[in-house]
Structure 1
Amino acid sequence: MRFASLRVRQDVVGVVVDGDSAYQLPSALSVGDLVRLGLDRALEIGTDALSGPAIELDASALVLPYKPPSVRDFVTFESHVEGVRKSIDDAVGVPEAWYDNPTFYFTNPHALYGPGEAIPRPATCRALDFEMEVGVVLGRDGSDLTEDEARDAVFGYTIVNDWSARDLQSREMKVGLGPAKGKDFATSIGPWIVTADELAPYLTDDGHLDLDCRVHVNDELVGHDRLSHMHWTFAQMIAYASRDSVVLAGDLLASGTTGGGGCLAELWGRNGSQTPPPLEDGDVVRIDVEGLGSLVGSPVARR
């Protein structure tokens, strides 16, 4: 099933999306409420909702699907690490420690944008970038989860665009504490959450999701990769995040940027110049992921 949030007149309602129609969830339940109830109960409620009156789906009325309590962003694509390190840090290769565990950082859960929303760029940013990612949504709480338990904790998946101010990021990461203001201004997610059962046919024998991922800027293809090129599975990422810690239902864990031009900085590192150029206000970034749909966003000047 596909669960989304839809603006209907003056209200935002949780819906099940089926083709070109949407069906409102009962009892004013939000998508976030469904996630906290867990996948099995959510599928029951969604099935009941499909027997109700249909609402014509207007894609422009889709908003942020839900508000995760936390957002962890991983870095799981080796080719992305190689290209971006060259671009941001003028470093060569992949750090040996990268292979030890699926590294992540926390980004800002209060600066989230839904499908089609304009993205206010940082006022001093002159090297704005997108990042093509897929996020896993947890459907239960846990601590010190095994990989099997982590796999069972998956509620569904959504597309993530981790917008990045590369010039700010390059400067502040010299301190050694992470990207901070280079990242925390905006993350787009959507257009909906696709439940885990829908994507089961795409699972490989080693637990990866094999999805085709493409990103266009102003309708020109810039990046193309397969999600199965992740070095770790989502189950491994969830288990690691929960180690000596706690994960909650609704937490969003992003794959990190794909290779193959999943962001401009990777290409800058490989090309030795800012080619293609940084994003300008009004540029339209569209991420298409097999089985998940399309997520569109466009930067604008911050007012």
Structure 2
Amino acid sequence: MKWVTYDAGAGPRAGILDGSTVRGLPAGVTLLSLLGDDRLAEAGESARRAPAEVRPLAEVRLLAPIPQPPSIRDALCFLDHIRGCYRAMGRSAELDPVWFQTPAFYFANPAAVLGPHEDVPIAPGCGMFDFELEIGAVIGRGGRDLHPDQAERHIVGYTFYNDWTARDHQLRDMAQGIGMGKAKDSAITLGPALVTVDELEPYRQEGRLHLDLSATVNGIEIARGSLADMDWTFAELLAYLSRGTELRPGDVIGSGTIPGGCLLEHVDTPDMATFPGWLRPGDTVRLDGTGLGETNQTVRPAPAMFPLRTGY
């Protein structure tokens, strides 16, 4: 099934996509409340048989499937993305051995989540605004100290994850050396739907989801790749993330950016032919993927910034 959170004018509610319509559950029932105790499938059948309301998809506003997840962790599971970023910054693309020992990740901001068609303001004070093409796995059943052979069973479904990044702020974060800060703090897009794992089984081969993914800016393709090319699988990632701690229903786990799936990686291309410049107000960014639908968002000017000190 494809689960959405939508607003038809009376506040957010959960429902399932059924062609060009949304079949809604009763008001007050959230997608998050259905996770963790195997109620999701039953609720989906109820929405299909006897929905509380039926709305044309074109007449509702899609929100993020889980508008404010309990937590968000973004990983870096495509190592060629890291190599591409290093080259763009003039560094050696040779990776330290630690990248092959455990997956890297950082915590992101649940309050920054946007829906799949919402405008995206540039981060305050940013002159190098970027998108990142990723997939988010949503935890359906909690657990800790998961075994890699079992961990993937805790995923209820997948959705797009656009990790909007202020690259100039990221340079400062890196110089300070304690991890991602304001670079990743302003916007994360999730949506358009939470696509359950059973819906995507036809695309599974040899334990990997072969989902073709692409990103365009103003209609020009910037990136194309496959989720199957992850160097660290979601099973390995969840096993690592759950070591000594609890993964909770509704937690969102980002895959990391597919190789080439951001503007930064194209800065060093010959004559910069595939680098259209950093995102500017009025630009539109679209993500597409097999079985996942699409996100389509317009970049807007940054809100005013109040300096702490001169220039900062």
Residue of 12, 21, 41 corresponding to 1:43: 41
Secondary structure (helix, strand or coil) at the match of 1:50 reads helix
Tell me whether 90-99 or 43-52 shows the greater mean CA deviation: 90-99
Task: Report which of the two has the higher share of helix.
Answer: 1
Note the C-alpha offset of 1:60: 5.7
Matched residue type, 1:157: Y
1:209 aligns with 2:172: no
**Does the 8 Å CA contact 1:128/1:163 hold for their aligned counterparts?**
yes
Partner of 1:58, secondary structure, is helix
Large movers: runs of 4+ above 6 Å: none
Q: Is the 8 A contact 1:84 1:269 kept in 2?
A: no
For 1:195-251, what per-residue CA distance to the aligned partner results, in whole angstroms no more than 9, with x for missing partners? Answer: 01111111121x221100000111111100111110021111111100122111111
Q: Which residue of 1 aligns with 2:310?
A: none
Structure 2 residue ranges without an equivalent (≥5) = 304-312
Between 278-287 and 5-14, the greater mean CA deviation after superposition:
5-14
Give the distance between the partners of 2:284 and 2:27, measured in 1 at CA.
37
Distance 1:42 1:89, change over 3 A: farther
d(CA) in 1 for partners of 2:151 and 2:120? 33
Alignment of 1:11-30 (within 5 A): 11-26=11-26, 28-30=28-30
Local SS of the residue matching 1:54: strand
Q: Which amino acid aligns with 2:172?
A: R
Cα RMSD after superposing both structures:
1.7
Distance across 1 between alignment mates of 2:270 and 2:186: 27
Conservation of the 8 A alpha-carbon contact between 2:2 and 2:195: yes
> Do the aligned residues in 1 keep the contact of 2:138 with 2:253 (CA within 8 Å)?
yes
Q: TM-score, normalised by structure 2?
A: 0.91
Provide the identity percentage. 37
Question: TM-score with structure 1 length normalisation?
Answer: 0.93
Specify the alignment match of 1:290 in structure 2.
290
- Give me the whole-angstrom Cα distance separating, in 1, the residues matched to 2:101 and 2:298: 36
In structure 2, the CA distance between the partners of 1:269 and 1:248, relative to structure 1 (3 Å rule), is: farther
In structure 1, stretches of 5+ residues that fail to align are none
SS in structure 2 of the partner of residue 98 of structure 1: helix
Residue correspondence of structure 1 range 1-303 to structure 2 within 5 A: 1-26=1-26, 28-38=28-38, 41-52=39-50, 53-58=53-58, 61-66=61-66, 67-88=68-89, 90-205=91-206, 207-259=207-259, 261-271=260-270, 275-303=275-303
Tell me how far 1:10 sits from its aligned partner: 2.6
| C-alpha separation in 2, matches of 1:184 and 1:269 | 26
Residue range with higher mean Cα deviation, 276-285 or 56-65: 56-65
Deviation sequence 1:52-94 (CA, Å, 0-9, x none): 2532112761112112111110111122111112224634322
Distance 1:5 1:75 in 2: 27
Q: Which amino acid aligns with 1:156?
A: G
Structure 1 residues 59, 287: CA separation in 2 closer, same or farther (over 3 Å shift)? Answer: farther
Measured after TM superposition, the shift of residue 270 of structure 1 is: 4.3
Amino acid across the alignment from 2:144: S
CA distance in 2, matches of 1:219, 1:280: 14
Amino acid at match of 1:159: F
